[in-house]
């Protein structure tokens, strides 16, 4: 653990977060920089810009503050994972699900920003996804293939709703035309290997506990334990899904006989037909073939919520 006092800070601000509503926070963040000895505000202008800013600032030894949603945090972390740099989060996105794992208190943004100067830090786990072509990427909170991947895709396309309402709308919209996806899944769990080869309704691998605003996809997740939490809902009839939605909101689905919930060191998935996938809410429209997911213990140092 360490403290961020005396560090220089780079605030990496995504004004497009929360479907553009984050831009309203620009003046507040600029005003709050006066509380730091050395601080700068860098505004992203295009996809991938947050990663460029993060790499440059990390090279100068700056503490990075991702100002946006889970997608902004994902981009920053992918740029600096494994490097000796601290990362904090100013939640101005639509969900900011990863922070919910730590039960953050409600604070005004200006108070939260000032607190970064004395915040403690601790290394947390990440998940790593490797695709068939050799490409790989980290996730901070969770990934989902199939049902939740399509929900995330629909959320991105719904411009007239925000936050949890957009997730509810997307869930209903996707459900109407959805059917279980055939997957071959191999889980390397703490209790041994588990193998499935069957249609799956919902597949998620998590480092954090919450997804989609309020859904407790992985209620026992611990981002310090070196493991990922896997939650698989087997093929069920659509008329039963509303009941499962309520269970996922409470986290009680993990006790259901149609759900496999376990902690795993690694997961292998094979998809014969391409499907939508989300990674910290960011969407990859088509993934297929072999996908490897592994836990990366203590891979990034993050500031505790001040």
What are the structural domains of the chain? 2-118 (3.40.50.10330), 129-298 (2.60.200.40)
Q: Model confidence at 159, in pLDDT bands (50, 70, 90)?
A: confident
Predicted confidence (pLDDT) at residue 209 exceeds the cutoff of 90: yes
Residue-level pLDDT at 306? 47
Predicted confidence (pLDDT) at residue 240 exceeds the cutoff of 50: yes
- Compute the average pLDDT of residues 77-105: 90
Q: Are 97 and 214 in contact (CB under 8 A)?
A: no
Tell me the per-residue pLDDT of 5-26, one tens digit each, with 9 for 90 and over.
Answer: 457 999 999 998 887 888 889 9
C-alpha 120/C-alpha 306 separation (Å) is: 8
Tell me the per-residue pLDDT of 273-305, one tens digit each, with 9 for 90 and over.
Answer: 999 999 998 999 899 999 999 999 999 999 976
- Compute the average pLDDT of residues 251-279: 97
Place of tokens 């639509």: 94
Q: Model confidence at 118, in pLDDT bands (50, 70, 90)?
A: confident
Residue-level pLDDT at 3? 54
- Compute the average pLDDT of residues 134-140: 94
257: its two tokens:
């006989």
In terms of Cβ atoms closer than 10 Å to its own Cβ (0-12, 13-18, 19+), residue 133 is: exposed
HSE of 252 in the Cβ direction (CA atoms, 13 Å)?
Answer: 7
């Amino acid at each position: 653990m360490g403290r961020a006092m005396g560090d220089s800070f780079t605030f990496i601000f995504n004004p497009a977060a929360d479907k553009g509503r984050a831009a309203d926070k620009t003046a507040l963040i600029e005003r709050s920089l006066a509380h730091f000895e050395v601080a700068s505000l860098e505004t992203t202008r295009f996809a991938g810009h947050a990663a460029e800013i993060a790499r440059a600032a990390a090279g100068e030894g700056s503490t990075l503050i991702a100002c946006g949603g889970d997608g902004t945090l994902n981009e920053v972390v992918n740029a600096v994972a494994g490097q000796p740099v601290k990362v904090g989060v100013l939640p101005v996105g639509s969900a900011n699900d990863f922070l919910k794992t730590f039960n953050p208190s409600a604070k005004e943004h200006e108070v939260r920003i000032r607190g970064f100067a004395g915040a403690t830090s601790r290394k947390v786990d990440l998940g790593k996804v490797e695709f068939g072509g050799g490409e790989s990427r980290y996730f901070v909170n969770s990934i989902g293939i199939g049902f939740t991947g399509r929900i995330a895709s629909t959320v991105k396309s719904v411009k007239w709703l925000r936050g949890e309402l957009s997730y509810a709308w997307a869930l209903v919209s996707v459900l109407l035309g959805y059917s279980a996806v055939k997957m071959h899944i191999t889980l390397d769990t703490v209790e041994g290997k588990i193998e499935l080869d069957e249609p799956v309704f919902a597949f998620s691998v998590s480092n954090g506990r919450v997804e989609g605003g309020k859904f407790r996809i992985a209620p026992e997740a611990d981002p310090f334990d070196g493991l990922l939490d896997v939650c698989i809902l087997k093929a069920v009839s659509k008329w039963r899904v509303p009941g499962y939605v309520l269970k996922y909101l409470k986290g009680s689905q993990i006790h259901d006989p149609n759900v496999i919930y376990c902690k795993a060191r690694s997961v292998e998935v094979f998809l014969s037909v391409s499907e939508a996938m989300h990674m910290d809410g960011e969407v990859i429209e088509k993934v297929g073939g072999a996908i490897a997911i592994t836990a990366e213990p203590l891979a990034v140092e993050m500031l505790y919520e001040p």
